[in-house]
Structure 1
């Protein structure tokens, strides 16, 4: 597929900002199943301080707020070519060692609710992929998709206890459980083209687990499938905080409003 993506983030501040810094992860990865044809990130009300590739191979940009600005507009847009690889990303690479993806973080620390999900999955499957698909199914049955019930600080255990959440929570629960049952796992943020619309609800999140012989394999609990050609991976990490599209702080102002718009549509392949 040839996917055209436009992502707008618009902050409004109650008072002019004295100082602020935003960390941006909005450049899609080039890897198995996807390649970036063109991409551009622009902003109004801020200026680039530095850009770099972080420890998880994410394109990362730090933006400083212009002193006295009352709003910050960030636009990320471009075209990505994708193909269906049945969720298989392939072998591990980069600076971060594979064993680190077994590490517990504050957002992915297991408790009794997580352990109960793992116990329901059990053992005796034909292969590791089948076991991970079973895990995805148990999470989908246990934690219903409900917007407005959790936030960015909600842990996997808290979402599992409440039995409600969104893609971010489904992903962190899967990552936490996969690590408990013995798989390296990571959080993925990116885009999903929903077939019935151009304007998407938001950016998306799913998980990847490392399977011997295959490498990284994706699992989208919220949609109960492995990612296909409609998915575009942007950032990966141990949890949401490592892969958040936009995060930051400001001084001398209070955030008054935030508008986020994500559009993903298929275009004709160029001959």
Structure 2
């Protein structure tokens, strides 16, 4: 499938900023089943952009802009060819061993409820792949309509207990629950093409299965990612795979707006 992405992030500041430094995880990588046909990251002010690869294998762009800066617009456009692999990831950059993704972070601490939920969901499973599919369906049943929304910073256990969550939160719940079952799991930030209007990138998770490798799971949809998904960045949690992260030097308040359009252009094949 050919998918077009138009992702516009606007920052407005109540007072001019002296300097802005941001790390952008906005560029998808090529795998055996995902090919970047065209991709451009642009900004509307004088800024230096430096491309690099982070420790997780993500393509990143460092943005450096000197003030005074009253506003900043980051615009991403591109097209990607995708293939349905039933969630199996093939040919991705993997600089780290799977065991690294058993590491707990403050955002993915399982707390009291998630380990019991994971054990109950995986009860009777034939193998680890079956355990992950059962966990994926169980979270979907509990949070069937979790929207794509800006990151609230909520830890997985807190969002699970609250009973209200975004796609980021549910992805982190899956990760925390999978790790409680001793299965390496990681966070994925990207795009999903469907009929729903998006106000933020989509989030899902991947679990590691011996003999197969990394397999994607989207607990918001209750399925594994297919050709409608564009995989952009991975991390231990939502903060580690955030589309934009950085610092600013200056006083005043910041307002951020996101305008995102993901469109299916057809099949190529």
TM-score by length of 1: 0.92
Query: Are the equivalent residues in 1 in contact too, given 2:30–2:92 (CA < 8 A)?
Result: no
* Uncovered stretches (5+) of structure 2, i.e. residues with no partner: none
* Uncovered stretches (5+) of structure 1, i.e. residues with no partner: none
Q: Which residue of 2 aligns with 1:243?
A: 241
Residue from 221, 227, 243 that aligns with 1:223 = 221
- 1:138-173 deviation digits (Å, cap 9, x = unpaired): 222334645599943210111111111010000000
TM-score by length of 2: 0.93
SS in 2 for 1:170: helix
Query: Are the equivalent residues in 2 in contact too, given 1:92–1:216 (CA < 8 A)?
Result: no
Q: Which residue of 1 aligns with 2:57?
A: 57
Residue from 228, 231, 254 that aligns with 2:252 = 254
Distance 1:46 1:160, change over 3 A: farther
Are 1:172 and 2:172 counterparts?
yes
Matches within 5 A, 1:81-92: 81-90=81-90
How far apart are the structure 2 equivalents of 1:57 and 1:216?
14
Query: Are the equivalent residues in 1 in contact too, given 2:31–2:91 (CA < 8 A)?
Result: no
Root-mean-square deviation (CA), in Å?
Answer: 2.1
How far apart are the structure 2 equivalents of 1:62 and 1:270?
33
Matches within 5 A, 1:1-271: 1-90=1-90, 93-143=93-143, 145=145, 151-194=151-194, 196=195, 199-268=197-266
SS in 2 for 1:213: coil
How far apart are the structure 2 equivalents of 1:76 and 1:84?
24
How far apart are the structure 2 equivalents of 1:26 and 1:257?
20
Aligned residues: 269
